[in-house]
Amino acid sequence: MKNVEYLWTLLAIPTQLNQPQYFPSNLSLKPLKCRFYFLTLFSTLYSVLIMSISSPLPQETRVMVGMSGGVDSSVTALLLQQQGYLVEGLFMKNWDEDDGTEYCSAKDDLADAQRVCDTLGITLHTANFAAEYWDNVFEYFLDEYKAGRTPNPDILCNREIKFKVFLDYAQVLGADMIATGHYVRRDDYFNNSAGSTRLLKGCDNNKDQSYFLHAVGGEQLAKTLFPVGELEKPAVRLLAEQHNLITHNKKDSTGICFIGERRFKDFLEQYLPAQEGEIVTDKGQVIGKHAGLMYHTMGQRQGLGIGGVKNAPDAPWYVVDKDLDKNQLIVVQGDQHPLLYHQRLTATDMHWINPSDQDAVFRCHAKIRYRQADQACEVTVSRDNNDSSISVIFDEPQRAVTPGQSIVLYDGEHCLGGAVIASRAN
């Protein structure tokens, strides 16, 4: 009966998705585009229907859902409950934020998570992983900024906290599997003797989060369920509203993983001393002052504070490099300036989700930032056992290649893994 309820819920979605609030803000409601959108939604629901019919009833499988207090994890718990899993929730507090700030606190998110669990009639556990987050994520975050790079802590947070510490803790509580509200999918038809699975992009191209999960191992993914990865965001919000979940219209979270939407500059200067320096052009002309190199990243335009420059055209300035030795921020004018673009990069700490005898040189697609369109490239893998690096040549020059960020590799829908960008060249 649980699976019947689940399927009925999904099949009812298209007839009710007729209100503008359920559509992405960038989606035109013109008839042709609407018809295309509904066809996409029907296709998604059909794939979930087939998946549910072909899978055995999971009546004895205990699943611990990572409850964030947001709509995605709320609907994750709902869908798994409807499929017949024995569902419990766990709220992770990974940052001690009793600092009197005005931002939405863990206390508010916990209250929302508790109300959702009360509505669904499931138990909510709580756990504090702040020490693990500091040791395994935040210290790395600070070290990278000290080195002049721009890290992505969400990727490390997923690997070290959500799919390691949380998974281990859930198993201690008796869970067979965990689940999260990430917009990704598993390839359950992938056969691997090591008990791992492959990571696939989410069905919603606008919300696909495989970029952030590329550093998670296939063994951890095999122990995780991602039900909202089969749906698009408007359908997720509608399901939440239909089932009276308080999070149905809650704003999506932004900002640093578990730290929230604090003003970044104010937050960072609490932990790293800022050193003022010069802003210079690529020709070496001093045209301004910066408050600290750590506050700037490649391709940045806003917040540079550069006024009118003598003998320079009236065009925006962009960050293209940092000189750590001289503590200088290097800028150029115009978003098509050649120094903004690079066709080659090297990346270190390459992580393969499913390690195999990868060809030394192969073609694939890659992203160097979240939500970037897939970019065709050629990858060369280091064969030195002490080196986990790759070299990448793109078919087209890439804008604002940023050391410290990740390059993630794809074979169609299949996420192969990724590495941390170390350098770039033309």
CATH code where residue 295 lies: 2.30.30.280
pLDDT of residue 11: 55
Q: Do 146 and 284 sit in the same domain of this protein?
A: no
Has 157 been annotated as catalytic? yes
**CA distance readout (Å), 293 to 148, 258, 268, 378:** 7, 24, 12, 32
Q: What is the pLDDT of residue 31?
A: 39
Q: Which of 31-35, 198-202, 277-281, 325-329 has the lowest mean pLDDT?
A: 31-35
What does pTM read for this prediction? Answer: 0.86
* Residue finishing a domain among 243, 264, 285: 264
pLDDT over 70 (residue 330): yes
The CATH number covering residue 214 comes to: 3.40.50.620
pLDDT of residue 405: 98
- What is the tens place of the pLDDT at every residue in 29-81? 333 334 444 544 554 455 455 445 444 456 689 999 999 999 999 999 999 99
pLDDT band at 2 (very low <50, low <70, confident <90, very high): low
The pLDDT of residue 307 is 78
What pLDDT digit, counting tens, does each position of 344-372 carry?
Answer: 999 999 999 988 767 899 999 999 999 99
Q: Please tell me the predicted confidence (pLDDT) of residue 393.
A: 99
Burial of residue 368, with CB atoms counted within 10 A of its CB: 0-12 exposed, 13-18 middle, 19 or more buried: buried
Which residue range is the domain that position 302 belongs to? Answer: 274-335
Q: Please indicate, yes or no, if residue 372 is contained in any of the structural domains.
A: yes
Task: Please identify which of the residues 117, 157, 377, 415 carries the catalytic annotation.
Answer: 157
Which is the catalytic residue, given 117, 203, 257, 415? 257
Instruction: Say how far apart CA 258 and CA 314 lie, in whole Å.
Output: 40
User: Could you say which DSSP state residue 181 is in?
Assistant: -
Contact between 116 and 246 under an 8 Å Cβ cutoff? The reply is yes
In this predicted structure, what is the pLDDT of residue 34? Answer: 42
The total domain count for the chain is 3
Q: What is the dihedral of CA 392, 394, 399, 404, to 10 degrees?
A: -10
The residue among 264, 284, 309 that closes a domain is: 264
pLDDT at 137: 93
- State whether 306 and 366 are in the same domain: no
In a domain, 269, yes or no: no
In the listed set 237, 264, 291, which residue is the last one of a domain according to the structure?
264
Mean pLDDT over 127-139 rounds to: 93
Percentage of the chain beyond pLDDT 90 is 68
257 catalytic, yes or no?
yes
Do residue 284 and residue 390 come from a single domain? no
Across the chain, mean pLDDT equals 86
Dump pLDDT digits (tens) for 152-192.
Answer: 999 999 999 999 999 999 999 999 999 999 999 999 777 66
Residue 174 lies in a domain: yes
Q: How confident is the model at residue 212 (pLDDT cuts 50, 70, 90)?
A: very high
Residue 138: φ, ψ to 5°: -70, -35
Q: Do 378 and 246 reside in the same domain of the chain?
A: no
Q: Are residues 237 and 194 in the same domain?
A: yes
Residue 206 inside a domain? The answer is yes
> 286 and 163: one domain?
no
User: What is the sign, positive or negative, of the torsion defined by CA atoms of 394, 400, 403, 404?
Assistant: negative
Domain check: are 293 and 362 in the same one? no
CB 164 within 8 A of CB 220: yes
Residues 311 and 357 reside in one and the same domain = no
The pLDDT tens digits for 83-110 are: 999 999 999 988 876 554 445 578 889 9
Percentage of the residues of the chain whose pLDDT score is greater than 70: 80
Q: Per-residue pLDDT for 423 more than 50?
A: yes
Does one domain contain both 348 and 221?
no
Together in a domain, 298 and 397: no
